């Protein structure tokens, strides 16, 4: 059976993506670190994993949930366990919590279960960052959120991310 790897995400516009790139480039990455390519910077809402390709049409429609637009303030650089360097919000808006919860509620309706672990909103800046020194500060990012996306992640030849649908 053919499958495709999917996730739900907040997908930045060009201006926010440039601000995220500026933050990423403030870090002095150690040898072996893998900074995230600028075009792949995003905030995951739910990782859906490998799904049958023939299930995608039902997912496209079944993952539409109502939500209120909001603003997300990013600017907290952190190094997580396992060498994951992230940029996190200075505070988590209730609207983001509500959107995450609404999508969690929609997943069983399309045959999926939400992850059991707590949601920690962040943008991954790099993997295998080891003992990188965390930048003291960087540009303040004020990200207006008026949509979320269903994204396909391809690996190997033709790797990259493709936005399958924007939900407004």
Read off the pLDDT of each residue in 130-136 and give the average, rounded to a whole number. 91
Q: How high is the pLDDT of residue 136?
A: 83
Read off the pLDDT of each residue in 44-56 and give the average, rounded to a whole number. 97
Q: Residue 46 and residue 60: Cα distance in Å, rounded?
A: 14
Alpha-carbon dihedral of residues 86, 8, 92, 16, nearest 10 degrees? 60
- What are the tens digits of pLDDT across the range 55-70? 999 999 999 999 999 9
Read off the pLDDT of each residue in 30-43 and give the average, rounded to a whole number. 97
- For the cut 90, the answer to whether the pLDDT of residue 52 exceeds it is yes
Q: Residue 125 and residue 48: Cα distance in Å, rounded?
A: 21
Q: How high is the pLDDT of residue 139?
A: 83
Q: Are strands 3-10 and 43-52 parallel, antiparallel or unpaired?
A: antiparallel
Could you tell me the pTM of the whole model? 0.96
Read off the pLDDT of each residue in 132-144 and give the average, rounded to a whole number. 91
96 — pLDDT class (breaks 50, 70, 90):
very high
Average pLDDT, the chain: 96
Q: How high is the pLDDT of residue 140?
A: 87
CA distances from 23 to 81, 120, 122, 142, 150 (A): 20, 19, 13, 13, 25
- What are the tens digits of pLDDT across the range 8-30? 999 999 999 999 999 999 999 99
Q: How high is the pLDDT of residue 4?
A: 96
Read off the pLDDT of each residue in 26-53 and give the average, rounded to a whole number. 97
Which pair of tokens denotes residue 79? 């190094």
Q: How high is the pLDDT of residue 156?
A: 79
- What are the tens digits of pLDDT across the range 145-156? 999 999 999 987
Domain count, the chain: 1
Residue range(s) defining the domain that contains residue 155: 3-167
162 close to 93: Cβ distance less than 8 angstroms = no
- For the cut 80, the answer to whether the pLDDT of residue 1 exceeds it is no
- Residue 107 sits in a domain whose CATH number is 3.90.1140.10
């Amino acid at each position: 059976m053919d499958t495709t790897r999917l996730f739900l995400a907040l997908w930045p516009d060009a201006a926010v993506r440039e601000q995220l790139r500026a933050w990423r480039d403030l870090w002095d990455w150690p040898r072996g670190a893998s900074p995230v390519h600028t075009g792949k910077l995003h905030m995951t809402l739910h990782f859906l994993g490998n799904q049958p390709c023939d299930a995608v049409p039902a997912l496209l429609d079944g993952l539409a949930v109502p939500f209120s637009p909001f603003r997300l303030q990013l600017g907290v650089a952190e190094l997580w366990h396992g060498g994951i360097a992230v940029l996190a919000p200075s505070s988590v808006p209730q609207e983001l919590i509500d959107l995450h919860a609404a999508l969690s509620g929609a997943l069983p309706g399309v045959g999926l279960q939400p992850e059991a672990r707590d949601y920690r909103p962040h943008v991954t800046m790099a993997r295998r960052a080891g003992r990188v020194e965390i930048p003291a500060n960087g540009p303040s990012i004020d990200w207006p959120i008026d949509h979320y996306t269903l994204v396909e992640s391809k690996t190997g030849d033709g790797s990259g991310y493709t936005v399958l649908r924007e939900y407004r």
